[in-house]
Amino acid sequence: MKRKFDKSENMSTKFSNFLDKRDKPVVGRLTVSEEAVRNSPYIIKKIEQAKRRLAEHPFPIELLKTT
């Protein structure tokens, strides 16, 4: 049996409404230790890329200050 689809509602709206109706917040569990994430080759590579970018294209530190 096919489900009728209300054309005025798209999928993201339906999902948002579903989440709004939930009483419990979504709580996740950490399945990987923080140490394993820190030592991940992907994270290390991204940190090195960010360091290189900052060295090649410095910007004023005042842009990071919030008031």
Average pLDDT across each block of 10 residues of the chain; the chain has 67 residues. List them in order.
Answer: 57 74 67 84 94 89 76
* Structural domain includes residue 20: no
* Structural domain includes residue 26: no
* Structural domain includes residue 21: no
Are 37 and 43 within 8 A, CB to CB? yes
d(CA 9, CA 4): 11
- Tokens 């009483």 correspond to 23
| Structural domain count, the chain | 1
pLDDT for the residue 52: 94
| Domain of 55, in residue numbers | 33-67
* Structural domain includes residue 49: yes
Q: For residue 5, give both structure tokens.
A: 């689809």
Which of 48, 26, 44, 47 has the alpha carbon at shortest distance from 35? 44
